[in-house]
Amino acid sequence: MEQTPNAVWASAGAAEGDTELNAFDNALLAAQVGNLNLIRISSVLPQNATVLDQPPQITPGSLVPTVYSVHVSARPGETVAAAVGIGVAEGSHGMIYESHGTSLDEVEASVRQMIDEGFARRGLCLKAVIVRSIEHKVERIGCAVAAVVLWWR
């Protein structure tokens, strides 16, 4: 049975934690996806999927297909950044890409370049680009997360 999500939502969050795993968990909470079981998927946006402005109502603990990027560091003063980019196509499926690095400019430029290349390689016509990104200056142990949740409405 084919199960194709028909809605997507992008978010980003950053946080500190006492351990790398706690920093990651806290960043997921900041991105409003911390109570979901994220299933990491590759990067195809289903055709005609609605891009939501607000997170969909999903029961905590649900298995949720997600494209995400994460950058964790335990080096105080370092900047961590993460971004996701959604390329919406004209009349076809689109693409979702993710990047992490040490600055907002770097990760945003990276996902935009990947969208351009992915669309060119597939011969798709780019209609719109949506980018969600965040950067965080590490105090003790910090994490930046960006995610695109795929879901059903």
- How many folded domains does the chain comprise? 1
* Of residues 98, 101, 112, the one with CA closest to residue 148: 98
Residue 111 has pLDDT above 90, yes or no: yes
CATH number at residue 18: 3.50.20.10
> Is the distance from CB of 90 to CB of 48 less than 8 angstroms?
no
For residue range 39-52, list pLDDT tens digits in order: 999 999 999 999 99
State yes or no: pLDDT of 1 exceeds 80: no
Q: Give domain status of residue 54, yes or no.
A: yes
Whether the CB-CB separation of 146 and 90 falls below 8 Å is answered with no
pTM, entire model: 0.96
1 found inside a domain: no
Residue 49 DSSP label: -
Catalytic annotation, residues: 37, 42-43, 98
Q: Give the residue numbers spanning the domain of 101.
A: 7-151
> What is the C-alpha separation between 144 and 153, in angstroms, rounded?
28
Exposed / middle / buried, residue 65 (Cβ in 10 Å: 0-12, 13-18, 19+): middle
Give the model confidence (pLDDT) of 66-85 as tens digits: 999 999 999 999 999 999 99
